[in-house]
Amino acid sequence: MTQLRILSTARMYGIYILFVFVILSIVVLSSVAQEPLPMNVFIRDMACPNDLGTITLQSWDYNDYPLPGVSLDVTGIGSFLTDGDGKWAMENLSNGTYHVSASKPGYEQKSFNFTISCPIKKVMVRPQTNSS
């Protein structure tokens, strides 16, 4: 019976020591400052199908893979998340300049401006002919 009690006490101390080790490991690892990973956010498409503008943004990680779940704060419009393909689109934007702040935990923040100016004036180019 005494051997059983000693064995049971040793197991308890072993579990306790393992628990303390795991907690200390978590604390040490979480306190190590990590550099944020690079992230790219760019304008994929901008158009004026009518008198209002449309824009599509794309986010990529440092390996050039689409980065979903990037938080986009667009001044004057609101906050959004990129979809599973790292894209976000908005239609019916009034003319003006908009500021975008992009962020995702573990990645560096990006910010930039874009300007909507609709309607786009069409330019017709005619080939020059030689008349001799």
Maximum mean pLDDT: which of 39-48, 84-93, 121-130: 84-93
Residue 10 domain boundaries? 1-33
Tell me if 47 sits within 8 A of 91, measured CB to CB.
no
Mean pLDDT of 21-27: 63
- Same domain flag for 6 and 50: no
Residue 21 has pLDDT above 90, yes or no: no
The pLDDT assigned to 42 comes to 84
Q: CA-to-CA distance for 88 and 71, rounded, in angstroms? A: 10
Are 87 and 56 in a shared domain? yes
Mean of pLDDT values over 31-53: 83
Same domain, 46 and 26: no
- Of 43-52, 73-82, 116-125, the poorest mean pLDDT is in 116-125
pLDDT value at 130 more than 60: no
User: CA 75 to CA 96: how far, in whole Å?
Assistant: 11
Q: Which uninterrupted H or E stretch holds 6?
A: helix 2-31
Residues 99 and 50 in one domain: yes
